[in-house]
């Protein structure tokens, strides 16, 4: 019983000491401020988990997919990208750069 009383007293003293120093300390898991770069979006959109524009199957990882340079369609990196390039962007469809 005496140990609980001493523990409660220590906690109360610690609370009053932190309050007298100008407020409570920030929590251990405080969030960074909103202007912190960690809150900003990535330079590219997320590809994983979205459907391929050619075969409609889900793209599992970012390394497996890519976006078309001309129209921005999400595609599987291998066969779907080649097929899309051949069928969707014939010679007359792509603007001259």
CB-CB neighbours of 37 under 10 Å: 6
Q: Under DSSP, is residue 22 helix (H, G, I), strand (E, B) or coil?
A: coil
Q: For residue 81, what are its two tokens?
A: 């990208």
Q: What is the pLDDT along the chain (97 residues), one digit of tens a residue?
A: 788 778 777 777 666 656 566 656 556 666 667 677 666 655 567 788 889 988 999 999 888 998 888 888 889 988 888 888 888 876 655 555 5
The pLDDT of residue 57 is 92
CB-CB neighbours of 73 under 10 Å: 16
Q: Under DSSP, is residue 51 helix (H, G, I), strand (E, B) or coil?
A: strand
Residue 50 near residue 38, CB atoms below 8 Å: no
Which helix H or strand E contains 16, and what residues bound it?
Answer: helix 2-20
The pLDDT of residue 18 is 60
Q: Is the dihedral of CA 62, 73, 94, 41 positive or negative?
A: negative
Q: Structural domain boundaries of the chain?
A: 46-90
């Amino acid at each position: 019983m005496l140990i609980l009383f001493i523990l409660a007293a220590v906690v109360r003293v610690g609370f009053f000491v932190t309050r007298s120093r100008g407020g409570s300390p920030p929590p251990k898991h405080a969030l960074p401020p909103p202007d912190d770069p960690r809150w900003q979006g990535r330079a590219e959109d997320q590809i994983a988990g979205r459907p391929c524009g050619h075969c409609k199957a889900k793209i599992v990882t970012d390394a497996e997919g890519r976006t078309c340079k001309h129209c921005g369609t999400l595609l599987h990196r291998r066969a779907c990208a080649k097929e899309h390039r051949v069928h969707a962007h014939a010679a007359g469809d792509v603007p001259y750069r």
